[in-house]
Chain A
Amino acid sequence: MSPLLDVSGLTKRYGGVTANADIVFDVNEGEIVGIIGPNGAGKSTLFDLITGFQQPDGGRVLLDGHDITGLRPDRISRLGVARTFQKLKPFIDLTVTENVIVGALAHTSDMKTARDRALESLAFVDLLEKRNNFARELSTGQRKRLILMDEVTGGVDQRSIVGLIALVLELKQRGVTVVMIEHNMQVIMRLADRILALHAGRPIAFGAPEQVRSEPAVVDAYLGTVTDAA
Chain B
Amino acid sequence: MSGSRTDMLKTARAEPLWPRPPLWVSALGAAALALLIAYPFIFTTSFSQHLMILILLYALMAQSWNVVAGLSGQISLGQAIFFGIGAYSSTVLFAKYGVTPWVGLMVGMLLSALAAVAIGVPTLRLRGHYFAIATLLIGSSVQIVFQRWDWVGAASGLYVPIERASPWFYLQFHTSKVPYYYLALGAVAIGYLVVWKLRRSRLGFRLQALRDEPDAAASLGIAIARHKVLAFMISAAMMSVAGTFYAQYVLVLDPERLFSAEISIIVLLMTVLGGSGTLWGPALGAAILVPLSEYSRIWFGGTGRTIDLILYGILILLVCMWRPSGILSLLEERIRRRAEMP
Contacts and interface: CB of A to CB of B under 8 A. Distances in A.
A binds B: yes
Interface of A: 51, 53, 72-74, 77-78, 82-83, 85, 89-94, 98, 101-103, 105-106, 109, 111-112, 114-116, 119-120, 122-123, 126, 128-129, 131-132, 140, 142
Contacts, number: 95
Given A74-B221, A93-B277, A115-B17, A128 B215 contact: no
19 contacts: A72-B223, A74-B223, A77-B221, A78-B221, A82-B219, A85-B216, A90-B212, A93-B208, A94-B208, A101-B205, A102-B208, A111-B200, A115-B17, A116-B13, A119-B12, A123-B9, A126-B5, A128-B9, A129-B8
Nearest to A99: B209
Contacts of A116: 13
A208 B287 CA distance: 67
Sort chain B's interface into a size bin.
20 to 34
B212 A120 contact: no
Contacts of A90: 212-213, 216
Closest 5 CB pairs between A and B? A89-B216, A73-B218, A77-B221, A91-B212, A89-B213
Interface string B125-166: 000000000000000000000000000000000000000000
B222 interface: yes
B224 interface: yes
B153 to A, nearest CB: 44
A103 B221 CA distance: 8
A102 B277 contact: no
B178 interface: no
A94 B212 contact: yes
Given A93-B277, A111-B202, 8 more contacts: A74-B224, A77-B221, A82-B220, A93-B208, A105-B202, A105-B206, A126-B5, A142-B220
A228 to B, nearest CB: 37
Contacts of B216: 85, 89-91
Given A112-B17, A123-B9, A128-B9, A74 B222 contact: yes
B12 A128 contact: yes
Contact of B8 (A105, A123, A132, A142): A123
A138 to B, nearest CB: 10
Contacts of B12: 119, 122-123, 128, 131
A94 B209 CA distance: 8
B9 A91 contact: no
Contact of B13 (A77, A91, A119, A142): A119
Interface in B317-342: 339-340
A111 B17 contact: yes
A53 B17 CA distance: 34
Contacts of A112: 17
Residue picked from B8, B12, B208, B277, most chain A C-beta under 10 Å = B12
Contacts of A105: 202, 205-206
